[in-house]
Amino acid sequence: MAEEVLLSSEKISGHLTWSLLVVALLASFGSSMLYGYNLAVVNSPADYIKDFYNRTVVSRNGTALDEEAVTLMYSLTVSVFAVGGLVGSFMVATLVTRFGRKGTLVNSTVLVFIAGGLMGFSRACCSPEMVIIGRFITGIHSGLSLSVVPMYLGEIAPKNLRGFLGLIPSIFICVGVFCAQVLGLHELLGKEEHWPLLLSLVVGPTFVQLMLLPWFPESPRYLLIEKHNVHATIEALQWYRAKCNIQLEIEEMQEEQRSLKSVNTVSVLELLMDRTVRWQVISIAVVNMGMQLSGIDAIWFYTNTIFENAGIPPPQIQYTTVGTGAIEVIAGLVGGFTIERLGRRPLMVGGFSFMGLCCAGITLSLILQTHVPFMRYISVGCVIGIIAGFCIGPAGVPFLMTAELFKQSHRPAAYTVAGSLNWISNFTVGFVFPFLQMSAGAFCYLVFCGICVAVAAYVYLIIPETKNKTFMEISELFNTKESAINSQLKMAKMNGYGTLENCTSAEK
């Protein structure tokens, strides 16, 4: 019987159709790419933004800000994006349940237009507050899209393509970073008069998504399991599949629906209290916090400063930064095209381990570069290595894992938990790193090294491989692990004669 179920589940696969590819590209282009763009866009015009803040304060109060106050305002501009992301992540479960996955992406585009307008007219209105509020609102949009896009793509993809489609958003995050770096060049929009336009360009990709994405169907799993609309489910599957038997996939979804018959969509508190998904919750917490605390956001936010401290001549810094962006895109493509062959765990373990090695390397190179001038190039190589290691696996696999480790009833709450921890960590790194760098110098990267190694070890020891498995099969893997751990704990409570200690004590 078990063999028959296995053989049936193996048939639930599909080919990459044009509709699947286009919707993945559209959702990622209009949402995920903006996250990467907003991470890096404040890097190039940092001096112009600080000068704008200072001049505005002088015109209002007649006194200039000291260097520490300017640094604080700029750090707030950088990190308030993460605060908005945290707010957006709290809204995920409610919105995707009410509006659906695609519906949430379409409706949230209004946030980008508001934010783009605020940042684009901030200098004309002499208002630093408009920049900060605009960054906050773009953060809300990114907090939503960072969870909703992988959820949407994970649910419309057949299991044999879930890894590839799930990493398309992370590739577009890298593309967004690269676009911000290229457009921030002095020859393009890197001039003082252009920085408001540079910040507001986010409205372009969102407009394209708003025009085209509504024509595509909603997630079939959402339509069947949560809306109980069999007819719409069949239409959506026929749209996304080609030359395959969708009946098997519908039966698999109905099996999951039957297993959840007495369970409604759970809240965050119910998710945290549910012991049956304890290890799944711990796992998504570790990998999502780890991807931000690995130091990658410090690299993205402060790339120019890091290269300046590494001794790169100022005229060459912007071109070095663009070069790292190109490597990000290449590394993201490598991860996307190898995940279905290698699996999730190797990309995560290898990516975090390589990042940890490079974090240790950048510490050593920064210490020695005053005595060995060649070390400045080693530090640049380590920065590139951190970015490449991140984009190959840790950039996208945690969001894919969040979709794969939970059933339909628990998935929205799981994304809320994962997203909130992700953004809290993002804010912490973005706000603290400049001060950590000033106080600890090169040794601050050893903190990131320890985190990367710890996350790699956790993934290797705890998280099973989920490649080419249905959501039900993945759930069974963790149930088996939970049973094994409970058995070990029970044995630990027994004395050497094989009887429970409390029972023995009662007899005495």
pLDDT digits (tens, 9 = 90+) for 164-206: 888 888 889 889 988 988 888 888 887 888 889 999 999 999 9
Of 30-34, 209-213, 332-336, the poorest mean pLDDT is in 332-336
Residue 3 has what pLDDT? 36
Taking the mean position of all CA atoms in its chain, how far away is CA 329? 15
213: buried, middle or exposed (CB in 10 Å: 19+, 13-18, 0-12)?
buried
CA dist 413 and 379 (Å) reads 40
Amino acid at 474: I
Residue 503 has what pLDDT? 41
Q: What is the pLDDT of residues 280-330, one digit of tens each?
A: 899 989 998 888 888 776 676 556 666 776 667 777 777 777 887 788 888
215: buried, middle or exposed (CB in 10 Å: 19+, 13-18, 0-12)?
exposed
What CA–CA distances, in Å, run from 144 to 91, 107, 242, 499?
7, 11, 30, 52
pTM value is 0.79
What are the DSSP calls for 38-86, one per residue? HHHTTTTTHHHHHHHHHHHHHHHHSSPPPHHHHHHHHHHHHHHHHHHHH
Largest interatomic CA distance in the chain = 86
The band of 480, judged by pLDDT with boundaries at 50, 70 and 90, is low
User: Which residues share a beta bridge with 500?
Assistant: 494
Strand intervals (E) in 116-185: none
Q: What is the pLDDT of residues 49-82, one digit of tens each?
A: 888 888 888 888 777 777 777 877 887 888 788 8
Give the angle subtended at the CA of 310 by the CAs of 308 and 313, to the nearest 5°.
50
Alpha-carbon dihedral 153, 159, 160, 163, rounded to 10 degrees: 40
Mean pLDDT in the chain?
Answer: 80
Residue 231 has what pLDDT? 87
What lies within 8 Å, CB to CB, of 66 at 6+ separation is none
Q: What is the pLDDT of residues 367-418, one digit of tens each?
A: 887 777 777 778 778 888 888 888 888 887 888 888 788 877 788 888 888 8
Amino acid at 443: F
Ranges of H-type helices in 411-496: 411-440, 444-462, 471-492
CA dist 508 and 503 (Å) reads 9
Q: Are 155 and 11 in contact (CB under 8 A)?
A: no
